[in-house]
Amino acid sequence: MNRITKRFARLKKAGQQGFIVYIGAGDPDLETTRQLALAFDRAGVDVLELGVPFSDPLADGLVNQLAAQRGLDSGTTPSRVFEAVAAVRRESEIPIVLYIYFNLVHHYGVEKFIRDAAAAGVDGLLALDLPPEESDGYEAMMRMAGLSVIYLVAPTTPEDRIEMIVKRGTGFIYYVSREGVTGMQSNVAADLAQKISQIRRHTELPIAVGFGISTPDQARLVAANSDAVVVGSAIVNQIAQSGRRPDLVSRVTKFVQSLAKAIKPGNP
């Protein structure tokens, strides 16, 4: 069974919400990415999203754009991300999703990318700019490789399209809780519960909510309405503020632990 599917089955059995963390791969370097992945696993993170650096990250706000640039500056490529995932796999079974722009997959070669991702230990791909209508061959190759096809649903997605998207997704559905790009926000969308309920009418897949969640209080509020909480920019910002300090991993992990405790208050 795919690690993502297995993890969400375990969470459901335990009556817990999942915690998904996004960071930019190679920010500030891939060895730090490896160390963060291992530390996050111990800190209660259920799924790790690694952003594969791209020169034109159109779905991302400034914090994640700068992380992508730092990743490019450190020499991070898709092949080197696979090497980093394989290194994590030698010590951890944390589910790993690559958050990626499809141009990178296309340039690498779709079939080869999927094959190499699976071989490295990747569990799913979230291709930001690949619509389901254009994904038939991609989805078939992903199924053959045992990888989850993760799709986004937005606040503006009409109900008939929600139904189509969730039927084609696997692993979990990523609900973008607000319009626009990634980035920290001061509040949670007021219609979140209503939107989650609308998506649930069409799928039994776990629904993860992201974009803008940046504090333990916000994470706690979102966890009350969803199956999983995704936090990205707030953690990426902690990495940026830490620079190349020797205690970067411990500083960032401490912040991640505060979020994990808010999402799963019963955990020690």
Q: Which helix (H) or strand (E) holds 100?
A: strand 96-100
Average pLDDT, stretch 185-209?
Answer: 87
- Residue 205, helix vs strand vs coil: coil
Q: How confident is the model at residue 188 (pLDDT cuts 50, 70, 90)?
A: low
Model confidence pLDDT, tens digit, residues 156-176: 999 999 999 999 999 999 999
Tell me what pLDDT residue 163 has.
Answer: 97
DSSP character for 134?
Answer: G
Tell me what pLDDT residue 183 has.
Answer: 46
Q: What is the pTM of this model?
A: 0.95
State percent of the chain over pLDDT 70: 95
Q: How confident is the model at residue 7 (pLDDT cuts 50, 70, 90)?
A: very high
Please state the φ and ψ torsions of residue 162, each to the nearest 5 degrees.
Answer: -55, -45
Beta carbons of 174 and 147 less than 8 angstroms apart: no
Beta carbons of 229 and 238 less than 8 angstroms apart: no
Q: Is the peptide bond before 53 cis (omega within 30 degrees of 0)?
A: no
Catalytic residue among 27, 29, 46, 60: 60
Tell me what pLDDT residue 169 has.
Answer: 97
Measured at the alpha carbon of residue 68, what is the angle toward residues 23 and 70, in degrees to the nearest 5? 100
Q: What is the architecture of the domain spanning 3-262?
A: Alpha-Beta Barrel (3.20)
Cβ neighbours around 201 below 10 Å, total? 10
Average pLDDT, stretch 186-209?
Answer: 88
Tell me whether residue 31 is one of the annotated catalytic residues: no
Q: How confident is the model at residue 268 (pLDDT cuts 50, 70, 90)?
A: low
Model confidence pLDDT, tens digit, residues 91-127: 999 999 999 999 999 999 999 999 999 999 999 999 9
Tell me what pLDDT residue 178 has.
Answer: 60
Tell me what pLDDT residue 187 has.
Answer: 58
Beta carbons of 21 and 233 less than 8 angstroms apart: no
Average pLDDT, stretch 76-103?
Answer: 98
Distance, in Å, from the CA atom of 95 to the CA atom of 45, rounded to the nearest integer, reads 9
Catalytic residue among 49, 116, 123, 227: 49
Say how far residue 86 (Cα) sits from the centre of its chain: 18
Distance, in Å, from the CA atom of 125 to the CA atom of 116, rounded to the nearest integer, reads 12
- Residue 90, helix vs strand vs coil: coil
pLDDT at 134 over 70: yes
pLDDT at 77 over 90: yes
Largest distance between two CA atoms of the chain: 50
| Terminal Cα distance for the chain, rounded | 28
Tell me what pLDDT residue 58 has.
Answer: 85
- Closest by alpha carbon to 207, among 176, 172, 165? 172
In our burial notation (b when 16+ CB lie closer than 10 A, e otherwise), range 121-132 reads bbbbbbbbebeb
Model confidence pLDDT, tens digit, residues 216-249: 999 999 999 999 999 999 999 999 999 889 999 9
Q: How confident is the model at residue 181 (pLDDT cuts 50, 70, 90)?
A: very low
Average pLDDT, stretch 125-131?
Answer: 95
Q: How confident is the model at residue 33 (pLDDT cuts 50, 70, 90)?
A: very high
Distance, in Å, from the CA atom of 253 to the CA atom of 103, rounded to the nearest integer, reads 32
Tell me what pLDDT residue 124 has.
Answer: 98
Tell me whether residue 83 is one of the annotated catalytic residues: no
Which residue ranges make up each domain of the chain? 3-262
State percent of the chain over pLDDT 90: 87
In terms of Cβ atoms closer than 10 Å to its own Cβ (0-12, 13-18, 19+), residue 156 is: exposed
Lowest mean pLDDT among 141-145, 186-190, 199-203: 186-190
Distance, in Å, from the CA atom of 121 to the CA atom of 95, rounded to the nearest integer, reads 9
